[in-house]
Amino acid sequence: MALLEFWRSHANEFGQLLRQHTALVLVSTALAALVGIPLGVLAARRPRLGQAVLTVVSVAQTIPSLALLGFLLPLPLVGGVGPRTALVALFLYALLPIVRNTTTGLLQVDRAAREAAVAVGMTSWQRLRMVELPLALPSVMTGLRLAAVIGVGTATVAAAVGAGGLGEYIFRGLAMVDATMILAGAIPAALVALVADAVLARVEWHLTRRRGRSSRAALVTVFLATAALVAVVAGGRRHADTIIVASKNTTEQVLLGEIVAQLIEAEATRVRSAGGPAAPGAPASRSDGVQVRRRLNLGGTFVCDAGLRSGAIDVYVEYTGTSLSAIFREPVSRDSVEVLARVREKYASAGVSVLQPLGFNNTFAILVRGEDARRNGWRTIDDLPAYASTLRPGFGHEFLERADGYRGLVQTYGLQFVNQPRGMELSLIYRALADGEVDLIAGDATSALIDRLDLFPLADTKRYFPPYDAVPVARSAMLLRHPEIGRALARLAGRITDADMRALNAAVDIEKQDPRAVAERFVSMFSH
């Protein structure tokens, strides 16, 4: 079975992602319990204040998970690329069921039990600890079970901000349109949710059977939750010589991320074997301690850029036109040399270095079905205005918002679509076009699916789309600390042609090969 073979061949990686996923859910749920149960007690004892508390914690549940991650990403202290942002989001999602069920459980405690506790002289704290919380325990545990199950499902989107977890396989599978890889992440996530629910049900049974020990059990739970948090935070701290290589969430980007990561690893190994830097007179190398950590499949341009500026990642491959228009929001010239110079100037002020272009230009291509182009005689985008009223456009979400995207395209070519463009994930638009769900898309010029699905790129006669030369962008401080990494990446300059990139993409998207293995074969050409 393909799925079992995938798990077997990716056993080490799968184990790591499963541990990351479980840790995210455990820590976020434990923190939500530490905050949510006291809030539930407060809400039960002060109804007016309780209503306000419930209203506030309910707000997080109304925000889509990806939108919440995007909102948290740029915030100081709680945001950034990595598990911190995901933990905050999962914590917010877990609060509502815990607060609400704690409040409900306490309000449903038999009035006679409270009166009996008062009659024997118990203080308010004693009544809460010895009478009310034990009686409300089933409801509280139900809230914890709901929070854990919600957390397991929501944690799959944590991969979009580089937090790891089983969502890595889901995002990777979507990028490659690989059902096996999607199931490799989705099925274990569902099983984790069932196990979490079963374990908490067992804990609930254990505590309700031994209510006299519930306080001690609660203290143990608090201790374990705190220990888990410390372990995750300690494990997430970066070593000074850890190089974080990132990529966006497309096949091409994952391949480029792997190529960069493997080149750095190969250079670090070579330097260790040589006992020092290769170039005479070069600064002393610290590569003997360099480790490469991958954060691939991040959720797009702005996530990668935010991570680079904050220091959460060290290097990724960007496109010059994307940098100038989407990141710096400046008009883009059609001159690739001028665009590169302007991008370097802009990045330099942010402490980021732009290295030499890799050699290919992944500009946008307006694509239609090949049969439509042949039937209607379409060759250029200029041929579309007469047909625009009958076409159903579909574009990636980012393309709809970019300065060099949809709005400028329709103005430049006078396109007046009757149907509003359909927004969808970039990895899905090619098949949506081939399957007849849309009639026109903006794809990547280096996509292997263009030939595979018989799609036709229309010529951009008005040169609307600017150059999108692929360039590694890296934190300048990292390059100064590790000059050998800059030398390693310089070996890629001008070495990847458009045809090379299409072939690499085809190996993954069409032949369903593992991106790491495809990148390894390509990198081997630079090992001599």
Task: Please report the pLDDT score of residue 285 as a whole number.
Answer: 39
Would 26 be classed as within a structural domain? Answer: yes
In angstroms, the CA 154 to CA 142 distance is: 18
Task: Please report the pLDDT score of residue 238 as a whole number.
Answer: 52
> Is the Cα torsion angle 243, 249, 250, 251 positive or negative in sign?
positive
Q: Are residues 91 and 193 in the same domain?
A: yes
One-letter amino acid at 151 equals G
When pLDDT is averaged across residues 63-82 and rounded to a whole number, the result is 73
Q: Are residues 276 and 375 in the same domain?
A: no
Q: Are residues 516 and 398 in the same domain?
A: no
Digit-coded pLDDT (tens) for 473-499: 999 999 998 888 888 899 899 999 888
Contact 119/59 with Cβ under 8 angstroms?
A: no
Backbone angles phi and psi of 394, in degrees to 5: -145, 135
pLDDT band, very low/low/confident/very high, at 208 (cuts 50, 70, 90): low
Residue 48 predicted with pLDDT over 90: no
Q: Are residues 249 and 298 in the same domain?
A: yes
When pLDDT is averaged across residues 381-406 and rounded to a whole number, the result is 87
One-letter amino acid at 487 equals R
Residue 17 predicted with pLDDT over 60: yes
Residue 261 predicted with pLDDT over 60: yes
Would 205 be classed as within a structural domain? Answer: yes
C-alpha angle 7-256-11 in degrees, rounded to nearest 5: 15
In angstroms, the CA 461 to CA 114 distance is: 81
Q: Are residues 41 and 131 in the same domain?
A: yes
Task: Please report the pLDDT score of residue 353 as a whole number.
Answer: 94
* More confident of the two residues 312 and 413: 413
Counting Cα atoms < 13 Å in the Cβ hemisphere of 66 gives: 11
Q: Are residues 336 and 397 in the same domain?
A: no
Q: Are residues 41 and 125 in the same domain?
A: yes
The residue out of 424, 458, 492 marking a domain boundary is 458
Residue 187 predicted with pLDDT over 80: yes
Q: Are residues 170 and 269 in the same domain?
A: no
Would 42 be classed as within a structural domain? Answer: yes
Query: How many domains does the structure of the chain reveal?
Result: 3
Would 143 be classed as within a structural domain? Answer: yes
In angstroms, the CA 387 to CA 373 distance is: 12
Residue 441 predicted with pLDDT over 90: yes
When pLDDT is averaged across residues 292-313 and rounded to a whole number, the result is 84
Would 463 be classed as within a structural domain? Answer: no
CATH number where 371 lies? 3.40.190.120
pLDDT band, very low/low/confident/very high, at 220 (cuts 50, 70, 90): low
CATH number where 299 lies? 3.40.190.10
Contact 367/455 with Cβ under 8 angstroms?
A: yes
The residue out of 404, 430, 458 marking a domain boundary is 458
Task: Please report the pLDDT score of residue 177 as a whole number.
Answer: 58
Counting Cα atoms < 13 Å in the Cβ hemisphere of 197 gives: 12
Q: Is the pTM of this model over 0.75?
A: no
Most confident by average pLDDT, 130-139, 367-376, 480-489, 498-507: 367-376
**Which range marks the domain in which residue 426 is found?**
364-458
In angstroms, the CA 82 to CA 22 distance is: 15
Residue 388 predicted with pLDDT over 50: yes
pLDDT band, very low/low/confident/very high, at 219 (cuts 50, 70, 90): very low
Q: Are residues 133 and 50 in the same domain?
A: yes
* More confident of the two residues 419 and 338: 338
Q: Are residues 178 and 263 in the same domain?
A: no
pLDDT band, very low/low/confident/very high, at 275 (cuts 50, 70, 90): low
In angstroms, the CA 397 to CA 298 distance is: 15
Q: Are residues 66 and 120 in the same domain?
A: yes
Range of lowest pLDDT (44-58, 74-88, 231-245, 484-498): 231-245
Would 250 be classed as within a structural domain? Answer: yes
CATH number where 212 lies? 1.10.3720.10
Copy the structure tokens of residue 231: 């372990």
Q: Show the beta-strand stretches assigned E in 288-429.
A: 291-298, 315-319, 352-354, 364-369, 393-396, 422-424
How high is the mean pLDDT of the chain?
82
Would 341 be classed as within a structural domain? Answer: yes
Percent of the chain at pLDDT exceeding 70: 87
Would 92 be classed as within a structural domain? Answer: yes
The residue out of 434, 458, 482 marking a domain boundary is 458
Q: Are residues 307 and 345 in the same domain?
A: yes
